[in-house]
Amino acid sequence: MHSAVNADEGNAAREASMSAADVSVSAARVAKETGSPTADVPGVATLTRPRVVDAKFDAPAVMQSAEKIPASVEKLPAGDNARPFSPDASLYSAPVGAPAALPRSAAQLMLMPEPQRLAVGERRQLKLVLKTDAPLGMIASSLRFDPRVIAVRAVSHGNIFADPAARPSVTYSVSAEGVLIFSVAPPAGQEAFTGAGVLLNIEVEAVAPGACDISFAAEDVHLMATDGRKILLRVLPGAVAVTQ
């Protein structure tokens, strides 16, 4: 019984000494590979953190090194890199081979005849004339008038379209405040319309004596070309005078 206990205690002592030796060997190996000093604690070998050197930036030394660069290194080769950069140059300029800019067109929209003189109760057609060289897929606009002097009774398409028998798409609405909103699109099967002629016939009726401007501004008119080109627009509004 006693010899078995002594044997167990001897085995445990040998295992403990072997573990301590292994730890000491591992610590010595790490210290040798890293160059870090060790501090021995009875039964345990520990590593201390390596010392960090506080490196400071030496600006004068860097500047002196930069001054020693050969002059040949600072010279740029001839070519595009030697040209100065213009402050007005765009960083988003079109690349080589980009498609050409879209063409530009002009358009004029006017009311005829002008001026108009009407008697109370009289009806007359005002003609909205369009002249342009742009291929239009649609035109939308608004006209303003004094509803106390005249009233809009009907709106119909004009003769600007190539086929008189074809019926273009015309939509319009008239508000009680005196705003006529309309849109015109080519007939079915026709992609665009262009040229000079009457776009719309606007029938008005004189309801009371007075002067009435029929106005529209360039920002009220939207011309949509089928190829997306820009259109410079000029508008000529009209006027109506109603007598007793």
Domain holding 205: CATH number?
2.60.40.680
Please check whether residues 29 and 137 belong to one and the same domain.
no
Please check whether residues 200 and 117 belong to one and the same domain.
yes
Give me the number of domains the chain comprises.
2
Per the confidence metrics, is the pTM higher than 0.75? no
Please check whether residues 41 and 115 belong to one and the same domain.
no
* Domain stop point among 28, 47, 66: 47
Please check whether residues 111 and 220 belong to one and the same domain.
yes
Residues whose CB falls within 8 Å of the CB of residue 192, separated by 6 or more in sequence, listed in order: 135, 136, 137, 186, 225, 226
Residue 82 lies in a domain: no
Please check whether residues 112 and 227 belong to one and the same domain.
yes
Residues whose CB falls within 8 Å of the CB of residue 45, separated by 6 or more in sequence, listed in order: 23, 24, 26, 27, 28, 38
Please check whether residues 147 and 218 belong to one and the same domain.
yes
Which among 198, 204, 200, 218 is positioned nearest to 146, based on CA atoms? 204
Please check whether residues 40 and 153 belong to one and the same domain.
no
Question: Kind of pairing, strands 104-112 and 38-41?
Answer: unpaired
Residue 8 lies in a domain: yes
Output the pLDDT for position 23: 45
Q: What percent of the chain has pLDDT over 70?
A: 58
Segments in the chain below pLDDT 70: 1-100, 114
Residue 172 lies in a domain: yes
Residue 57 lies in a domain: no
Please check whether residues 13 and 119 belong to one and the same domain.
no
Residue 81 lies in a domain: no
Please check whether residues 184 and 113 belong to one and the same domain.
yes
Residue 158 lies in a domain: yes
Question: Kind of pairing, strands 169-174 and 116-119?
Answer: unpaired
176 is in which domain, residue-wise? 105-243
Instruction: Give the model confidence (pLDDT) of 24-72 as tens digits.
Output: 545 555 455 555 454 444 444 444 454 544 545 555 554 555 555 555 4
Output the pLDDT for position 163: 76
Please check whether residues 127 and 224 belong to one and the same domain.
yes
Instruction: Confirm if 166 and 187 have CB atoms less than 8 A apart.
Output: yes
* Domain stop point among 14, 31, 47: 47
Residue 120 lies in a domain: yes
Instruction: Give the model confidence (pLDDT) of 223-242 as tens digits.
Output: 999 999 999 999 998 888 89
Please check whether residues 110 and 203 belong to one and the same domain.
yes
Residue 166 lies in a domain: yes
Output the pLDDT for position 210: 94
Please check whether residues 113 and 232 belong to one and the same domain.
yes
Output the pLDDT for position 132: 95
Output the pLDDT for position 37: 52
